[in-house]
Structure 1
Amino acid sequence: MTSDSGNLREPAIGGVAPSQLRLLTKVARMYHEHGVRQPQIAEQLHISQPRVSRLLKQATVLGIVRTTVVTPAGVHAELEEEIERRYGLRDVVVADTGHSSPDEPSTLKAIGAAAAVYLETTLTGGDRIGISSWSSTLLSTVDAMRPRPNPVAEQVVQVIGGVGSSTSQIYATRLADRLAILTGAKAVFLPAPGLAASPAAREVLMADPHINDVMGAYSGLTMLLAGLGSLEPSPLLVESGNAIADAEQQALRKLGAVGDICLRFFDENGDLVKSALDERVLGIDSLTLRSIPRVVAIAGGARKFTAIRAALRGGWVDVLVTDLDVARRLAAEPAR
């Protein structure tokens, strides 16, 4: 065997000879950088098209071709992933309002639009969806959704009463009915107040067979859409007639409550806060709520930050849709 000692040959990469590396690189550049289609590469280089395909795959394996994901403006993938990691969430959607200091209407609109896209993407059929009866962000979400040509859910079930004032009833039925229409599902309404006047009044209402049937459907839910409440009620909640009284708010604060999901209150660590109010709520209980496979919280704004963080810490939520300012604050703080 003879060799040319005057030529220092470059070592092979991954067991591939330099001459082969040249062909790999040439094919990769033609395809990825110059946009030449595989049949044209085969014709120009006088090799078969299957070989071109194999060479392109080999170029990727050897690191000659590397895939880089360029995040578009307005998309916050790294921030979403950081929040998912910190709080153990399945998914996070961050809505960019486009303003450095967004006011509440623009925040609600941005969150609603982002949540609508999330639902349109992830509802593929067969879901039984629970929905809270009052929430500005949920109203914004259903307003932003588009009807689907085929059914993507079986049921939309109201998980907490909404009949207080006449306005409250409109909000409650509009949410459930509108989402059912958009998803091709059957709407199931809970004809009861979210808060009964007393525990005794709640017991009377619970004796109604129809209300019992609706509540029986909660254990079969595969998904829940809910807002997150703070101790300071939103204007919508006050208008609905279902806002809790000032004295009850003070009692909840003394117990350490900072927020709620479907009127189930929790403290800053996300631990359930038990109070006398629980005996008056007509809606899904905390154990059933936590057993739902996918709980999607749609909430944002500075007023809700403490409640959102607590809900994540307590594991009440699987998916969060929120605004950019809240997301940045969540990512900047320890999960506990």
Structure 2
Amino acid sequence: MSLLTKVARMYHEQHIRQPEIAQRLHISQSRVSRLLKEAVNLGVVRTIVVTPPGVHSQLEDAIRDRYGLADVVVGGDDGGSDGGDLDDNALLATLGSAGAAYLETTLSEKDDIGVSSWSSTLLAVVDAMTPQRTRLARSAVQLLGGVGDPSVQVKATHLTDRLARVTGAQARYFPAPGIVARKSVRDALLEDPYVSEVASAWDALTVALVGIGSLRPSPLLQSSGNAISDKDQDSLRELGAVGDVCLHFFDAGGALVDSELEERVIGISGAQLRAIPRTIGIAGGARKVDAIRAAALGGWIDVLITDVGTAHRLVD
């Protein structure tokens, strides 16, 4: 036990490499390795991870395990741990910073990223990203046309353009409205050569970056004209819808709602979206808790990036 403790202290406290320990103590390096393993097994050496402020590993693990997600990132400080709400600006800053850090560390130059229509949350993420010297992605492809007022639809293109710039990717825009009046109009637009060419790229995507919408739009979204009509909202509410990803509306359990609106959306299909290896949902705030929970339960997202207050609501 004395030799074991001495070896453990030399290696872990004095940071002496195994070959030098073996030379100093006149024992073989293989014996040094065996003693170090035995020290761990006997509890002589114990590894303790001290979580720094602003890191919420246990909360992230709890959400990941509860909802079967691949990964969870919780941003913000512990001030929101009591479930208190951040104001809109603070929430956007928190989600933007957390989302940017995640993308900058997990994207690769071979990734083809799909990005959903304009949202203030996704725009906050890409605005918080720092352009890199090396390319972070191969392409950035728009997944959905702009929604609402045509004068506002340009923001969907702006989001894709900004993401392409900060990642060094090639931008591919989707020149179509997000919702049309009839299914026949949607089918006709999808036959346009340029529209169909962009749509064909959806099957090769490796990452999707999406917002998670609640059925009740934010005041900002409503006032901007970038939201679905009140009539469509009422119809979806009657069917039990609580939220959407890329305008695919689902109920509280995450099941797709069979609505007439589904046939009028011009964008990536639900099946194509689910087939993407990694779909990253970024959303937070009390208004969106039900939608976020349903998106996770229904398998619409693989990774969730959210704020502390929302995270606590998801595990309570």
Give TM-score scaled by structure 1 length: 0.85
Contact 1:163 1:192 in 2 (8 A): no
Number of the residue aligned with 1:149: 133
Number of the residue aligned with 1:99: 79
* The one of 109, 120, 129 aligned to 2:113: 129
Q: How far has the Cα of 1:315 moved from its partner?
A: 1.2
Q: How far has the Cα of 1:54 moved from its partner?
A: 5.6
Superposition pairs of residues 140-289 of structure 1, within 5 angstroms: 140-162=124-146, 164-165=148-149, 167-289=151-273
Contact 1:97 1:106 in 2 (8 A): no
Say which is worse superposed, 276-285 or 266-275, in terms of deviation.
Answer: 276-285
SS in 1 for 2:284: coil
Say which is worse superposed, 174-183 or 303-312, in terms of deviation.
Answer: 174-183
Number of the residue aligned with 2:67: 87
* The one of 306, 316, 321 aligned to 2:305: 321
Deviations 1:163-185 (A, max 9, x none): 65465234212211111122221
Deviations 1:209-239 (A, max 9, x none): 1111111111111111100001111244334
Deviations 1:299-332 (A, max 9, x none): 0000000100111111111100011111111112
SS in 1 for 2:256: coil
1:295 equivalent to 2:275? Answer no
- Structure 1 portions without partners, runs of 5+: 1-20
Going from structure 1 to structure 2, the CA distance change for 1:225 and 1:66 (only over 3 Å counts) comes to same
Contact 1:161 1:193 in 2 (8 A): yes
Contact 1:258 1:268 in 2 (8 A): yes
Going from structure 1 to structure 2, the CA distance change for 1:242 and 1:204 (only over 3 Å counts) comes to farther
- Distance, in Å, in 1 between the alignment partners of 2:152 and 2:231 is 22
Larger Cα Rg: Structure 1 or Structure 2? 1
Q: How far has the Cα of 1:125 moved from its partner?
A: 2.4
Deviations 1:228-255 (A, max 9, x none): 0011112443345331111211111000
* The one of 117, 134, 139 aligned to 2:123: 139
Contact 1:167 1:239 in 2 (8 A): no
* The one of 58, 78, 94 aligned to 1:78: 58
Contact 1:127 1:223 in 2 (8 A): yes
Q: How far has the Cα of 1:36 moved from its partner?
A: 5.7
Residue type of the alignment partner of 1:104: D
Contact 1:157 1:188 in 2 (8 A): yes
Q: How far has the Cα of 1:76 moved from its partner?
A: 1.1
Contact 2:244 2:250 in 1 (8 A): yes
- Distance, in Å, in 2 between the alignment partners of 1:203 and 1:38 is 68
- Distance, in Å, in 2 between the alignment partners of 1:239 and 1:187 is 28
- Distance, in Å, in 1 between the alignment partners of 2:148 and 2:252 is 29
Contact 1:163 1:191 in 2 (8 A): no
Residue type of the alignment partner of 2:101: V
Superposition pairs of residues 26-41 of structure 1, within 5 angstroms: 26-34=6-14
SS in 1 for 2:242: strand
Number of the residue aligned with 2:43: 63
- Distance, in Å, in 1 between the alignment partners of 2:13 and 2:176 is 63
Number of the residue aligned with 1:13: none
Number of the residue aligned with 2:93: 109
Q: Aligned residues: percent identity?
A: 57
Contact 2:253 2:298 in 1 (8 A): yes
1:23 equivalent to 2:7? Answer no
SS in 2 for 1:226: strand
- Distance, in Å, in 2 between the alignment partners of 1:97 and 1:56 is 38
Q: What's the RMSD between the two structures over aligned residues?
A: 2.2
Going from structure 1 to structure 2, the CA distance change for 1:198 and 1:236 (only over 3 Å counts) comes to farther
Say which is worse superposed, 51-60 or 229-238, in terms of deviation.
Answer: 51-60
Residue type of the alignment partner of 1:23: L
